[in-house]
Structure 1
């Protein structure tokens, strides 16, 4: 039955699975870069541009597909269309014969994938009990994406590319999305469009950019956007260059590299519910401040740790706890700050801003620094992004319902 605990669990599971497949496709190129780079003769700057191009089109889609789903109220339909589209785009990456071809394929994939998460979070916000919202949104965004995208993708795709070729690995990555689209279509119900008061309907019918400007005047919103820009830059830059750094600078073979990078996926999958669930209890602000500061361990370990692969994976595992805050600044805090009728719009704003600024410019800057100063330059960029994020998050206003209740406060939405 819709809105029962069982249905809410099914909803979160299928959305987590679907976003995991999104990230499986998105991370495929990063994991396969040691195979792709020599064949297509890519520079570090071009590698950064490939990651940035996908982030750019992802961001544009997040802005406008989120808004479209608010207007139409057809969240499930749009989600299924997007899932089929990004699956088909994976085939294009597999037939690329040049940088330009591959760049165009990644642009198309980003455009198809960008609307998936704003719609998914809006569905969770409207269908799941608010007391479990942080945990549910953490699982929906991080559990599947990290088990499938950050862990399984490098391990499976590198092994497949070693046995066959990187092109066949891209073809393999395209299949699961088609199955996921079918599961969503047949097993989930279309959420009811949020009821609007006359005042809210009038406010929501204005110019999109005026609505965005108004949202950014809310303190929690612009802080989430700033932290999101910095941390998405950290995430995308890490995945764009770390696999090559581990093989070309640290000297690991591709298989060992895939398992080290896979440790990030296992870590983030665990943190997806532990950190999100912890924020339901102790508050959003503490985890938003401290975990970005902890993230400096990863790049420092990559530069200075000289032991075996297991030890480096353990360092990465601890530092990657920061991945647990991604659904908090992208979805939980914005959805607790604004009324339900605006959720997909403000979630699209949060995610789109992160991608178009952090996801686009982070890898470009990292690649340019690597070409100019050496391949460890991107690691210093990661350290700077982490430290600034932690300090910016100190300005957040707490939104966790349980924490506000203990303080005798009532959540206010705008």
Structure 2
């Protein structure tokens, strides 16, 4: 049966149907991955008092996962590029992070839960770089920006940020937070099977026809790649700090009940889910640079709204919705812009390096810093940190060189006299 399905997939290679299936399935898989990753953040109001955790320890969970996520992304992306193997890497990693979610539910102490997060990061880190590489091989260049946006942001935010709090918080309230982790583990096994039986390895010529024309050192000499790495540090920090501390801020600092917190956090997932294809699609048409600048600076309204807006929760949800629109930038600075600026065959390597840089210097250090600040200055301190991070990201985006193929071609076309 496996060979028959794979043969059918090969026949669909040139069609939009197969391209859409590749992007949709990888997006669903990454969404389940983020459901697992974010589960602890939404369950933390239940986990923290049960395990008697400090805010610093809460930040350490995000830091630990980001560290091993980054190291895994760096290693797996390069290995995948060299071996030309995509599908087995994604399948094995998917099964592994499902098992880590189960281990998280079994944790009875800070150190046991910390170990589970370290293992989960190692399992998950290589999935997105390899997925982006597969998309570059299968999807037409003119749709690359939107395809990468959908793969990285649509499923991850609809499931990991949108559905997760709505589903997990009631489960934790009714049955306990451990059952929430067990629930998060199951769906990944289904997507792992679908990837194995319905996707094919791209043709060898798509990623190995004499080796990359640009070395990794030369790639990082390009202004766009360096700036994208800096933006990754800042915006990964913004995201992980928000995920780790916004649920606690809303319940402890603002006094919202867990149900209100859950749907306010779900607003972020809906925003990012729409932004996953809207923001990259806009950038395909008008350019990467102006979109990067606008949405990075737009991110200031989320922490400011959380800190100072005291009116209707519906209006606060709208502030959250628009402020979280910067999530649509992630596939652009992590994969699309670097791939368009240098040899596209370095996509998995560059995505792993840029993502890894952001996770190590942003995802590892920022939650620990935010937790320390929260213990010293109060639970609002992480939101002030988010404000500074998104402003700095917008300033970095000002230095980008335009790379969108349609825009570059339009600018280089000779003027008609």
- What TM-score does the superposition give when structure 2 sets the normalisation length? 0.94
Name the counterpart of 2:9.
none
Of 120, 124, 138, the match for 1:113: 124
Of 348, 359, 364, the match for 1:360: 364
Name the counterpart of 2:292.
288
Quote the Cα distance in structure 1 between the aligned partners of 2:207 and 2:41: 42
Partners of 1:263 and 1:313 within 8 A in 2: yes
Hey, which bits of structure 1, 4+ residues long, moved more than 4 A?
195-198
May I ask how many residue pairs the two structures share in their alignment?
402
Partners of 1:398 and 1:404 within 8 A in 2: yes
Name the counterpart of 1:87.
98
Name the counterpart of 2:150.
139
CA-to-aligned-CA distance 1:323-373 (integer Å, 9 cap, x gap): 110110011101112223322111111111111111111111111111111
Of 221, 224, 228, the match for 1:220: 224
Partners of 1:73 and 1:192 within 8 A in 2: no
Quote the Cα distance in structure 2 between the aligned partners of 1:409 and 1:386: 35
CA-to-aligned-CA distance 1:236-278 (integer Å, 9 cap, x gap): 0001000000001111111110000000000000111110100
Q: Name the SS for the 1:395 alignment partner.
A: coil
Name the counterpart of 2:175.
164
Deviation at 1:409, TM superposition (A): 6.1
Quote the Cα distance in structure 2 between the aligned partners of 1:120 and 1:63: 14
Quote the Cα distance in structure 2 between the aligned partners of 1:340 and 1:304: 44
Deviation at 1:215, TM superposition (A): 2.5
Gaps of 5+ in 1: 205-210
Q: CA RMSD in A?
A: 1.3
Name the counterpart of 2:322.
318
- What TM-score does the superposition give when structure 1 sets the normalisation length? 0.95
Deviation at 1:307, TM superposition (A): 1.5
- Asked if residue 303 in structure 1 is aligned to residue 307 in structure 2, the reply is yes
Deviation at 1:195, TM superposition (A): 5.1
Partners of 2:234 and 2:362 within 8 A in 1: yes
Quote the Cα distance in structure 1 between the aligned partners of 2:227 and 2:267: 29
Map of 1:171-190 to 2, 5 A cutoff?
171-190=182-201
Partners of 2:137 and 2:207 within 8 A in 1: no
Name the counterpart of 1:261.
265
Gaps of 5+ in 2: 1-11
Map of 1:9-408 to 2, 5 A cutoff?
9-193=20-204, 194=206, 196-198=208-210, 200=211, 211-408=215-412
Deviation at 1:197, TM superposition (A): 5.0
CA-to-aligned-CA distance 1:172-198 (integer Å, 9 cap, x gap): 100000001001111111112335454
Structure 1 residues 196 and 409: CA distance shift in structure 2, 3 A: farther
Quote the Cα distance in structure 2 between the aligned partners of 1:171 and 1:24: 12
Partners of 1:126 and 1:340 within 8 A in 2: no
